[in-house]
Structure 1
Amino acid sequence: MTDRALTTGGDLQPVGTSFGAASNRVTTVTRGLAVPGATPVGGSWFGTWGSAVRVRATPSTSAAVVGTLPAGIDVAVRCQRLGELVRAEGYENAWWAYLPERGGYMTNIYVSSPDNKLPGVPDCS
């Protein structure tokens, strides 16, 4: 078995660059790499907004929190499903995006898209 490592220029970001912006730059470069033996993350990429957005085990605000997103990062969305209606930041939406890299769901409210349901993303089965 061979260990692999990838180093990036994450520390070469301009002073004052937000974590989200730096993360997006690195992700844009690395998500297109063909790494032997690796399985690419499936899904469509979307920007997010809001800070400390919770990723939950199921599409409900009462579900266990499996992670928290930093402000303004890009996420891969594999599918979406109807879940609990969420009201936040002057919006309401019952659609939730499944994030395979995070192993859970986030409300579509915090996905940068003009519609409640994300375009081009299938429903979760």
Structure 2
Amino acid sequence: MWNKSARRGARLGGGAAVLCALAMTVGAAPAQATVEQASAGTMFTTWATDVNVRRDSAPGVRCPEFPSPGNCPQVIGKAQRGDQLEVSCQTRGETVGGNPNWVFVDNRTRGFYGWMASYYISHPDNWLPGVPQCYGP
């Protein structure tokens, strides 16, 4: 198959070969976009107001291993009802409202990121679909 294409390109001249290469590159773009979209987090919203989004305040603090207000003492922002939250991963942490999971969010609406109790995510289940586990059991 390669030999036929090479011969055709040689007969048509260099311009056709460039157009073929361009067409193959353009054809590959949707596949690349799909891979990038798959690696991005899943979008959710929050149903509550003034939800603390937290992170470690000093080296050695264990926020990612077991998220909680004690392990993630620095509040870096407050999510509001309806904020667009890109959730990149989830893990077990301190139980909030009967939900033992925490999520690492990028608040696209307000421009900050950190750990948030999954209880405040607008979804009926404690474990969010399509979101991988970060750390923990």
TM-score under structure 2 length normalisation: 0.54
Unaligned runs of 5+ residues in structure 2 are 1-35, 56-62
Larger relative helix fraction: 2
Instruction: Give the 5 Å matches for 1:16-95.
Output: 42-57=40-55, 58=63, 59-62=67-70, 63=72, 64-87=74-97, 92-95=98-101
Unaligned runs of 5+ residues in structure 1 are 1-38
* Number of corresponding residues: 83
Greater Rg over alpha carbons, structure: 2
Whole-angstrom distance in 2 between the partners of 1:85 and 1:96: 9
Q: 1:66-96 CA deviation, whole Å, 9 max, x = no partner?
A: 2111222121000001011113xxxx11101
2:18: which partner in 1?
none
1:15: which partner in 2?
none
Whole-angstrom distance in 2 between the partners of 1:80 and 1:43: 11
> Following superposition, which runs of at least 4 residues in structure 1 exceed 4 angstroms of deviation?
none
Q: CA deviation at 1:103?
A: 2.8
Whole-angstrom distance in 1 between the partners of 2:50 and 2:120: 10
Find out whether 1:113 has 2:113 as its counterpart.
no
Q: CA deviation at 1:61?
A: 1.9
CA RMSD, 1 decimal: 2.1
2:104: which partner in 1?
98
How many percent of aligned residue pairs carry the same amino acid?
A: 40
Whole-angstrom distance in 1 between the partners of 2:127 and 2:69: 18
